Chain A
Amino acid sequence: MPDSRRFLHPEAVRRLGRMELRARHIVEGFLSGMHRSPYFGQSIEFLQHREYVPGDDLRHLDWKVWARQDRYYIKQFEEETNLRCTLLVDVSNSMRYGRGALSKFEYACTAAVSMAYLILKQQDAVGCVAFDEGIRNAIPIRSRRNHLDSVIHALEVSEPRDKTDIFRMMQNVAENYPRRGMIILFSDLFVDRATLFKGLRMLRQRGHDVLIVHIMDDDELDFTFNGPMRFDGMELPEHLSCNPRSLRDAYLEVVGDYLEEVRRGCAKNTVDYALVRTSEPLDAALAAFLSNRLGMHHRN
């Protein structure tokens, strides 16, 4: 049996267990649960009143309010649906990098498994795709409790290698998972930004709610190297011998531009985005992300 605990830190799971995973956009699903339907209608949980406008269904008119105040108000309810969540985990060679407790790959797998565990615990369905230039392993979406093992296995056998071809992967996902749902991408996004945004746009057009967990190492974000070093590219064939501190400012500027470009691209495509450092506690990163998701949903 695979060591599932390696990706399920009990503390993280415990803290995630206290949180509600709330997707921003509700994909198709019928199963009752904690997740809100993308459509307002009858449901268990009353959401809010709003003034009646011509064209509204009279079935939703709150007659009690009309009787008391002689005003027309429509009752709105949250509709709970089934969540179909697909976890996309980048297992390209660049994900191997990490000088801390966890490499980016380990961090991504841990986060993905935790997310799957949480989803399955909420009776929702989860699938998983490990990809680099192509799809290395794909686990279909299931809501069985033991489906978590499949997810873990799929990630465990996916040793990082090769480059990332994210558009191709997204194209496959779009074709293989035609039903609308949530897609959570765990990656360092060392990809061509144009193809990334193109892929995200495509997923969004298919009705998927996309979340990106951008995982980067502290070194990559802070570039705090000292002394003469030779950098060998993990996905690129180039190498560079330099004094890293002399390049730090320029590097940080380039990385800053890159992150800004990614943020802008995600925002443009209404894709949720969170940058997570591998040094950050896993639960804290996920909690911050989920909290962000919830806030966005309420704003909608």
Chain B
Amino acid sequence: MESLFLNPSLIFLGLPLLALPIIIHLINLMRHRRIQWAAMEFLLAAYKKSKTWVILKQLILLLMRIAAVAAIMFIVAQPMMQGGLDFLGGEVTHHIVLLDDSYSMSDVHGTESAYEIAQRGVMQIANKAATARGAQEFTLLRFSEAVQENPELDTNSRRVAADFESTLEPVLGRHEASQTASGPEAALDSLGRVLDEGRDENRIVYIVSDFRQNEWESAGALRDKINRLKEQGVQVKLIRVVDKENENLTITSLAAVPGVRATNVPIELEVTVKNNGKNVKRNVAVALTEDGLERSGVTISEIQPGAEESRRFSVFYQDTGSHWVEARLPNDEVHADNHRYWAVDLPLEISVLICDEDPEHRSSHYLDIVLNARADELATGITTRIEHPRYLSDHDLSSFQSIYITNFSRLEDAAVAALEDYVQNGGGVAFFLGDDTQARWVTENLYRNGEGLFPVPIASKVGLLFDSESRTPDLVPNLDHPVFRVFGISKNSFLNKVTISKYWALQANFEAKDDLVLCRLRNNAPLVVENRSFGSGRVVTYLMSIDNAPADTLGSVDTQQVERKSNWTSNPSFVVSMMMLQSYLSKQKEGSFEIGAPFDVDNLSVEQFGADVEFARMGQYPMTIKVQAIETTSEDAENTSGETDEVDEDSDVTPVSLVDSGQDSDDSTLDSGTQNSANPDENTKTRTAKFEETDIAGVYEARLQSLGSSLPMVRIRSYNVDPAEGRLAITPTENLAASINLDGVEILNIADLGGGSGAAQQSNMSQYLLYGLILLLIGEQMLAYWASYHTPIPGGTR
């Protein structure tokens, strides 16, 4: 508590005045009236009786008069006190600051980023709290921290003292705008978890943010949350950090075009850039890096405001293992969305299972030819395995990228269960019906009223009537679907030459949804149908046979066409279509992760991998850190799932967390060819490690210490920012008020918070002293009356 006077010289000038009451008291004693008194005996007795009280009252009165003079002197000198009368206690006011540190806050305005402006605002809030009346507490929570399971508050109910500025400054300085897109909802949600609801205090919640439109324009959920706070008596203030928006380009996507991803196969990537500004951007150069090495980039000639433009480029890798690509825009006001990463773990080849009941493989033959091209110059990166459908019943299917089932009559129950399990776990299955397919069995066991693998119930095999007058080709594909999209781009006329004479009709009362139909016949009957509602995998069903055998004569008029059920397998479009189908069915494992998601590495067999796991980040901010995996059995994992353990402090490793080793690994590309890895014994010892510091975009590698090889085994992931945060359009105050639609929510600009140094924030205590003086004088008068120093009521005495 620091104090000073505005007019300190008056204190010294006024000090002699303190003696004034004493002097007056002495003078009064000297100027008394003398009187000859007869009843002296009684007077002396009375004096003796009340001597103590009389002297005490006189002394108190004298002190009060001195205090009154001192108070007047202080009022004139105007004492200033930092923190006012906080030391007296009173009701606590809790300032809770929710600080937006999403990457849109890195938007630079002049020389400062929005986040730095927000930091200044937070300091101003703290300074105002430090000079406010009553006890003040301060809690700071960043948006990016609020999304954590157990958020840590930067300051938790910290009592605001006069020197709080020096406490808060280093806390704020430890952080800068994150690369997350964390919004206010999570921060408001976490308030209930981090604050003690039972405390009796006045709460003011400040949301310090840039209030971008993508979060605040239609803030229904936010309105509800803020409304709940209001109902709890919490005062809510929205502090706007910036009032104008900058131009910004964002790489919204960098992904591989569907296709086979294997070595020696060209992989086509597509980079998409969005213009989040208000002006047309021309000649936008996107720099590219392959495995850390610069390569030729792409240039987008023009991007309209608010529009996206994509460009494709190919990468080609001869080596198996992890590879990554970085796309990079020139620096603008927001850096985080100028980088985007793509990573892939390339196997030498991928395995595809083809099941065919026909020992002569008349159906699977065409698929095998298409998928497993042997010529080096036509490498597809795919190896095929043709088996009887019984193979499905008693073999692990997880090693196959996709499964094709052709020309089947019915499947064993175990095969159906295995297929369903395979699709549940992300596998892709394509069905090609055969002449002997039992429609009733399929409907009852594969369709199962919509709960099975099959997308539609089938009725029977029917013929497609030949119509020489019709100019409509037999196949009418959905060109928006990835499997057939290529025909729309290249205007391939081969597809128009495909003829279909036999197909399987759906049950009469069943109508397939349009978005699930990939291709129809010219009579509008569905030919290729998809089931997207079964697990995370994909199921595509061709309601036709591809065995290329002569069809029966039913319904066929043209003698040349009658000989075959379809000529599609002889048509070049079949090759393209099947390759697209294979890409579509393949497990999509190179997907981009959003930053912040933990990098789990589990199910590491202790026989194959050592304990040390090195996590490395590549890209704009490279780093390497070594962690030690925890060894556990499957039983231990069940008992300790979710617990956190510290590793040896002496080792140069970071703590890792136990995770359930029984979970399926999503890094199955590494397990290619190891068919038993998914079914370890119950007491099999495995290692597991988790890396949680993935809050910066980049390519992350987990380098596993392989015991059988000098080279580490690598698992790779790309982590990217949420491109939506790159939209910098701010919500105008009137729209913000409308979207919040709440009375009493204060919306302030950062400038409205005011500022000033600690000295200027001191409270003038003159007012308090004036109140004290009034009380003192009232008390003095009462005491003086009690001590009989006042003239009594006229008429009562002489």
Contact = CB atoms under 8 A, between A and B. Distances in A.
Interface of A: 93-97, 104, 188, 190, 217, 220, 222, 224-236, 238, 240-251, 253-255, 258
Contact of B37 (A233, A243, A248): A233
B34 A249 contact: no
B87 interface: no
A255 B33 CA distance: 22
A251 B40 contact: no
A190 B792 CA distance: 29
Given A228-B31, A231-B43, A243-B789, 17 more contacts: A93-B38, A97-B38, A224-B797, A227-B32, A230-B33, A232-B34, A232-B37, A233-B40, A234-B37, A240-B44, A242-B47, A242-B54, A244-B788, A246-B58, A246-B787, A247-B46, A255-B39
Contacts of B50: 246-247, 249-250
A153 to B, nearest CB: 26
A240 B38 contact: no
A234 B38 CA distance: 5
Contacts of B41: 190, 236
Given A225-B798, A247-B54, A250-B49, A241 B29 contact: yes
> 7 tightest CB-CB pairs across the interface, nearest first?
A245-B788, A228-B32, A233-B40, A250-B46, A94-B38, A251-B46, A231-B37
Contacts of A247: 43, 46-47, 50, 54
Contacts of A245: 788-789, 792, 797
Contacts of B791: 226
Interface in B425-458: none
A231 B38 CA distance: 9
A172 B40 CA distance: 27
Residue picked from A93, A94, A224, A251, most chain B C-beta under 10 Å: A251
Residue picked from B40, B49, B798, most chain A C-beta under 10 Å: B40
A76 to B, nearest CB: 47
B647 to A, nearest CB: 83
A188 B36 CA distance: 15
Given A240-B47, A246-B788, A250-B49, A229 B39 contact: no
B789 A238 contact: no
Residue picked from A97, A227, A250, most chain B C-beta under 10 Å: A250
A229 B44 contact: no
B50 to A, nearest CB: 4
A251 B507 CA distance: 122
Given A242-B47, A246-B787, A253-B46, A231 B35 contact: yes
B510 interface: no
Contacts of B33: 227-230
A171 to B, nearest CB: 23
A230 B34 contact: yes
B32 A97 contact: no
B32 A250 contact: no
A192 to B, nearest CB: 10
A190 B789 contact: no
B28 interface: yes
Interface of B: 28-29, 31-47, 49-50, 54, 57-58, 787-789, 791-792, 796-798
Residue picked from B29, B37, B44, B787, most chain A C-beta under 10 Å: B37
A177 to B, nearest CB: 28
Contacts of B37: 97, 231-234
Contacts of B34: 229-230, 232
A219 B307 CA distance: 108
Contacts of A251: 42-43, 46
Contact of A188 (B38, B57, B789): B38
Contact of A226 (B29, B36, B798): B798
Given A226-B791, A228-B29, A245-B789, A254 B49 contact: yes
A245 B35 CA distance: 15
A231 B798 contact: no
B354 to A, nearest CB: 119
B634 to A, nearest CB: 95
Contacts of B28: 228
Nearest to B37: A231
A243 B787 contact: yes
A190 B46 contact: no
B32 A230 contact: yes
Contacts of A236: 40-41, 44
Nearest to B788: A245
B792 A231 contact: no
A226 B49 CA distance: 20
A232 B36 contact: yes
Nearest to A220: B39
Nearest to B798: A224
A228 to B, nearest CB: 3
A250 B36 CA distance: 20
Contacts of B54: 242-243, 246-247
Given A224-B797, A225-B798, A235 B40 contact: yes
A233 B39 CA distance: 8
A232 B28 CA distance: 18
